[in-house]
Every structure is written in C-alpha cells, then in structure tokens.
Structure 1
Amino acid sequence: MDTTGWVKPKENSIDALSYGIENSDGVEMDLRLSLDGEVIIHHDARTQDGSYPETTNYDDMKEHVDLFSDLLSKDDFVTKWVNEARFVCLELKAPHPSSGAGGGWLRGKEMYNHMSELFQSVRDMIKQIEVPSNSTVFYSFDPYITPVANRFSENYRHARLMPKLRQWGGWTTQRAAALPSFISTSVPRLLDKQRKLGAPMLPLALDYLHGWTRFLPIGATMGLQGKSLQKFNHIRRGHPVYVWPSPIEIEPRLLKAGLSCISDTMQKGLVYSDGSERCLRPGTMPFVENERQPWHEISDSERAKIVLTSKKKWGWSSGKDELLGLTSSGTMPWEMPRLIGHRGAGKDPETL
C-alpha cells in the first residue's frame, strides 16, 4: 500500500523524469524533433491540442511539452546519469505519416533525414555532458534507427523495437496490426536480430513471457518459470533484456530471472504480495553486508564481487575482464537487472 500521498507527475515531463532518476535505477523517455529543430520530450503523435510536434514550432506547444535541453540543464538529473550509474533509455519517435513530416506516407529519404537529424541532435547533447556509452541506449520502432545509428552513433549503442507498432490508430488498432509480426517473430528470432544489429540489450514485450499470448509466437514458448524459463535463459545466454510492461505483481519474477523492468508503477513505499518490501533501485542500491547501499558509494572490490556473483547467478556470457571494464562508481555492465521508470514516473492513463 502506498502511504506517501504521492501524486504522479505528468509523463515525459521534467518533473516525472527527475523523480524517476532520483528514485529508481533510471528512466525511459520519448524524444521528437519540432519544426524548428528542438528536441522535445513527448510520446504521442499529437500534443494535447491536436498538433503534430514535427510540424509545430516549440514556442507554439511549450505548454504541452518539455525540452530535452531543459532536462539536461538540471544538475541533479545529469549527476545521477553521468556519475551514479543511472541508466536512460532514449526512444526516438518518427512523425505520424499524416503530419507530412519525414516524407509523410511516402517516407523514404525524407524520413531518413528526419531521424538522422533527431539522432545527431540528441547524441551531441549527451556527448556534451559526457554520458558514459554504457549508461544509455537509443531505440526506435522506426526501421531507420539502424542505418542512422550505424552512421552517426559514434560510441553510443542502439536497439530496434520489434514487432513494429504503426504510428496510426489507437492502442487496439496498433496491437492488431502488429499481431502477424508478433506471431511470426519468436523470442529466439528477436534475440538473433538484435545480436546481428550489435544491440546491447533486447527490449521485449511482456506478452512474450507471460499470459496466454506467450503461446502465440511460432517456435519454443518462453516464460518466467519452470522449463519455459530454462529455455529462455538458455537462448539468451545472459543477453540483457528490458521488459515492458512490468506490472508490480510480475516484477519480482522478472528481477529474480535477471531481467530489467520498465515500470509504470513508481510509487515509493509499496510492498509485494508476499509482504516483502519493494525496492525501486535493485540495481543501483545492491545489498552489501545485508544492507542496501548506493552503487557509487561502495568500494571497487564490492562492485566487482557483485558483478562476478551476478555473472555466475544468471549465466552472463560476457567475460570477466569485459564486465569489470564496464564497472565503476558511475557505470555498471549492461547485464545488471534494473528497474526503469517508464516515461519517468509511469505513463499517463489517457496516452498510448
């Protein structure tokens, strides 16, 4: 039960993202490019007044969206991201075809150019504040993320969100349109595709692991317990997996399996159904001598011990030297299970 009287901030707002990075292992956010070239933080294809962000100047929609640059001007946010091992997932959003931006329904080179400008703008801003390369990931449903990232990413890594969700229609329509791809794209195929892309992690819908939908994809069925979990762990070989949605009733099983959770339930002071206390920072507040302590404050030897114990526990395939090379007071290996605040402090009920 939540006893804090907490009121969730608006999704993708600076308040929500500041709350999320303070109280969890990191945040996920959605980035778009305005008509005048500003990077804004916004999920849906339209703003609250019905405007398409990509065909609107920032000043004309600033009541509805925040600037990414304003978020990066917040010292507390940057300190946690750069120096205290928080992780940030950056989802790059393509414009709605009806907006006419990015080539509209024809897409082509104009969409490539649009996604290139967005990617480079974000990359340059996070380079300026010296975000470690293993403390963030770029991803997108738009297939141009791959050629764009391959050309412009420099040291930063990317992944492709699959199956692709269409920009048009409501949530039900988008899911229905994605169903054939969901059925034909099994978890082993997803992992194979991400590995071929060089992706450092697999963004994965919970539908693949839980509920009746996990039986739909052609091929081996994956799950969170028993033989289906053993199959999953065998094929992923410790490859980092970030699962959304991560309902609080499923969250302990995901974390126990060594998976990261992208959560919409970000209240402090909650407990799990078995009565155990929930920790919003399982990654960046590990147990040291039976007490949770901040990752950036524990010793190098303690961090190394946690990493190598985790490698053995979850069967990470990365070598010892590689893992320890990614381990410092301000960073941790990709494989470390984390709890990430979706759109900062959880999505708003009325948004897609």
Structure 2
Amino acid sequence: MADVAWRKPKENSIAALEYGMEHADGVEMDLRLTAEGEVVIHHDPRTPSGKYPERYGYDDLKQEVALFDDLLDSSGFVDRWVNEARFVCLELKAPHPSSGAGGGWLRGKRMHDHLSRLLESVRSRIEEIQVPVQSTVFYSFDPYITPVANSGSGKYRHARLMPKLRQWGNWSTQRAVASPSFVSTSVPRLLAKQRRLGAPMLPLALEYIHGWTRHIPLGTSVGLKGAALDRFNRIRRGHPVYVWPAPLELEPQLLDAGLSCISDSINPELENTDGSNRCMRPATMPEIEGVRQPWHEISGSERMRVISDWRKKWGWSTSLTELKSLTSESTMPWEVPRLIGHRGTGKNKGTL
C-alpha cells in the first residue's frame, strides 16, 4: 500500500495544534474572546465568512473557529504540555476596532477590560490542568498586555510583541504603520525593554537579525554570522529569543545559534535544505551519545549533563544551580532553544 502524503491541517485547528504539539517542541496559537465570553482560537480579525469573533457567540462561529476548551479536552495535547516539557506561546488578540468590542476605535478602559477577561479566562483554565510556569508564555501586540498581565496573569509570565502591529489593515498596511517603531528600536533596545518588563523571552521578527533589513534599526545591529552573531550573544547573555518567521533554510542556523524558531513548516516530509535529516524536536528529543531520546524519559543526571552542555555552548548567564531548579522530566529552563509550530503546523496561505 502506498504511503499517504501528509496534508497540512487548517491553522489554529485542534488537529493542527495536536499535531504540532506531538511532532515539535510546542506550538503557538492565537486566542480571542467571543461576545459570550468563550475563548476561541483564531488569528485574523475576521473569520473567513467575514464575522468579527468578538461580536458573536461560539455557536455562531463553530464552523470556522476552534474552542480553547475543546483543545484542553485533548488528553494527548494536555499530557505533552503538562508532563513532557512541551512549550506553548499564547497570543492574546485584541479585537478589530470596527467590531465595537474593547471600546472600538476609542479603546481605553474597555480594551483593558476586554484583554483582562480574555487573560483571566485562559489563565484559570491552564491553572486547572496544572501547566508548569516555564512551559507557557502570554504575549500580545497590544500595549495593554503589560498592565493586564501584571495584575491578572498570576504565576504565569508574559512578553510584549514589538513593534506593535495594528488589528486593522492588510499585512502591507500593518507593516507600514509599524515601520517607524522598527527603525527606532534596535535589538539591544528591544532586549532592554523586555528585561524591564520581566519578560522570560524576546519575541523577535526575523528582519532584525537576517538580510539587509537588520541594518535599518538605529543603533547596534546584530545577525546570525561572525561578528554580528558574537555581538548578539554578548547582548542577550542567553536571554531566550523566539524568532518568526523561521524559514526552513535558516532553521539549522537559528537553532545552532541558540535561538528558538516559530516555524510554518511543521511537515514530517521535509528535510533540511542541505538534504540532512531534520529533527523537529531539538529540545525535547536531545541527542545523548548519538541517539535522540525523549526529555521526559531520560534520567535526571542525563538532563543536567545536557543542560550543562547547552549552557556552555550558548553562554547562558543563569547559574547551573538555578537551571537545575527549573529542570525536571516535565520542565525545561527558559533558555532552551525550541522548534515551535506556528498556529500548530504553520499559517494558512492568504491569512495575515
């Protein structure tokens, strides 16, 4: 019988998130709050039929979006998140101003309250299933993420996505509006801002570290090769960095630099572009004596040998004692570079 070709699931679907969680080191997903207070998984401001999720209840949306509670009913997904050291990036999405939710175009306190309800709903659910603190992060492009998370994220941590992308306009418009912030904010400044926020990681656009665009921001430029990479490593001192997009041809280079990849290529049929074998679980399937083994199945001493080797290779500033306190069969230190499935197995063509 001929092998059946792999078919990519719809982005942010239960199938995509389950697959990404099984075959990669974790997943990223986008969360929105419906008019009836349900948390749904959807990226764009509108559904394919043109509905703003924040204007409707889930019953009116269920043909187009997934329900977060349904994902948490998936035992395989939850078990990997809670017990096998997989990582999940939870992006909280602000509503489109024309939806009328969150104060519409006026925003203000109503937007703060909207994001607060969304975060509280998600936090309470992941607390119920006992997701480890270092196995998830909240983030958002909306600047209200900081006051909202500081007051309502409990033990979980957050980061802010920068430069800010608005919820309105197409991709080109969003990028054009964000351009002044991109120009004025170098990677060292981004890192400094995230550290002041107490963020456990830096979400970083690829344009900051690759290609001619890395020279645009005012200030010190960094990169993935030679002196530019050395500068980057000195500046970040092991601070975790999650890069998107992480194209397949750059994936080995990014991971070898100690950077996490948010990938649109969670496809088991793909190899590295040089033809070498690709590992989609570089963190949770570390190589021990030439054999890749599941993180949750190796011994405590083996885990610490791996962590010690990684710390030395990438110059982490965190002490071994602290790293040990963050390491168990179900958890990994923040610094570990991972391969994360963007929206599960990758974004759909034609979405923002």
Same fold (TM over 0.5): yes
Structure 2 match to 1:336: 336
Quote the residue 2:205 is aligned against: 205
Structure 1: 5+ residue runs without aligned partners?
none
Q: Could you tell me which residue of structure 1 aligns to residue 85 of structure 2?
A: 85
**RMSD (Å) for aligned C-alpha atoms:** 0.8
Give the gaps of 5 or more residues in structure 2: none
Answer whether contact 1:266 1:345 (CA < 8 A) is retained. Answer: yes
Render the CA deviation track for 1:28-70: whole Å, top value 9, x for unaligned.
0000000000000000000111011011111011100010000
**Corresponding letter in the other structure for 1:114:** H
Written as runs of structure 1 = structure 2, the 5 A alignment for 1:150-161 is 150-161=150-161
Indicate the residue corresponding to 1:188 in structure 2: 188
Q: For 2:71 and 2:271, how far apart are their aligned partners in 1?
A: 31
Aligned residues with identical type, % of pairs: 68
Q: Which residue of 1 aligns with 2:261?
A: 261
Where does 1:219-238 land on structure 2 (aligned, <5 Å)? Answer: 219-238=219-238
Counterpart of 2:59?
59
Note the 1:165-184 alignment, pairs <5 A: 165-184=165-184
2:273 matched to which residue of 1?
A: 273
Is residue 214–residue 223 contact of structure 2 (8 Å, CA) maintained in 1? Answer: yes
The CA distance in 1 between the partners of 2:4 and 2:125, in whole Å, is 35
> Is this contact kept in 1: 2:54–2:99, CA < 8 A?
yes
Q: Which residue of 2 aligns with 1:111?
A: 111
- Hey, what does 1:126 align to over in structure 2? 126
User: How far apart, in 2, do the equivalents of 1:65 and 1:270 lie?
Assistant: 28
Q: What secondary structure is seen at the aligned counterpart in 1 of 2:49?
A: coil
Moved over 4 A (4+): none
Aligned to 1:21: 21
1:324 corresponding residue in structure 2: 324
Alpha-carbon offset, residue 275 of structure 1: 2.2
Whether the 8 Å contact between 1:269 and 1:278 is mirrored in structure 2 is: no
| Offset of residue 4 of structure 1 | 6.2
| Corresponding position of 2:162 | 162
Pairs within 5 Å for 1:233-312 = 233-312=233-312
Q: Distance in 2 between matches of 1:269 and 1:304?
A: 32
User: Does the 8 Å contact 2:224/2:257 carry over to 1?
Assistant: yes
| C-alpha displacement of 1:269 | 3.3
How far 1:289 moved relative to its partner? 1.3
**Count of residue pairs brought into register by the alignment:** 350
Q: Give the 5 Å matches for 1:11-50.
A: 11-50=11-50
3-state SS of the aligned residue for 2:271?
Answer: coil
Alignment partner of 1:145 is 2:138: no
Q: TM-score scaled to structure 2, two decimals?
A: 0.98
- How far did residue 276 of structure 1 move? 1.3
Q: Is the 8 A contact 1:85 1:135 kept in 2?
A: yes
The TM-score, its normalising length taken from structure 1, stands at 0.98
Q: Determine helix, strand or coil for the equivalent of 1:308.
A: helix
